[in-house]
Amino acid sequence: QSALTQPRSVSGSPGQSVTISCTGTSAYIDGYDYVAWYQHHPGKAPKVLIFDFTKRPSGVPARFSGSKSGNTASLTISGLQAEDEADYYCCSHTGSYRVFGGGTKLTVL
């Protein structure tokens, strides 16, 4: 059982915005090191979208953004596109260990 809880699914129409939450016990998000967000298309390697809660790696579009409030980290995708349909995972980095959330399936209607 994951220590990071994500909604199992979210959906939105092209052009809309969606937000995916990642809620953890206080040991895993609030006051701890980092949370990253990954996009995973089936059959491909996961891709990092956000790290350190809010930072975006080079090459990731600005419509992907991250935030944190208390023990919840969030990923917001603005201007939804068909290719955004994928699974999304948060990942907490605490010292030597990582923990993935259970994953959220994003459906673009």
106 counts as binding other proteins under rule CB under 8 A = no
Spacing of C-alpha 5 from chain mean position = 11
CA pair distance 21, 60, nearest whole angstrom = 19
Amino acid at 57: P
Options 14-22, 46-54, 62-70, 72-80: segment touching other proteins (CB under 8 A):
46-54
Binding of other proteins by 66 (CB under 8 A): no
Taking CB under 8 A as the rule, does residue 32 contact other proteins? no
Choosing from 35, 51, 80, 106, the residue that interacts with other proteins (CB under 8 A) is 51
Verify binding: residue 47, other proteins, rule CB under 8 A: yes
| Closest CA relative to residue 30, chosen from 57, 69, 63, 56 | 69
Instruction: Please tell me whether residue 102 binds other proteins under the rule CB under 8 A.
Output: yes
CA 31 to chain centre: 18
Give the Cα separation of 105 and 84 in Å (integer): 10
Residues forming the site for other proteins (CB under 8 A): 2, 36, 38, 40, 45-48, 51-52, 55, 57-58, 87, 89, 91, 96-103
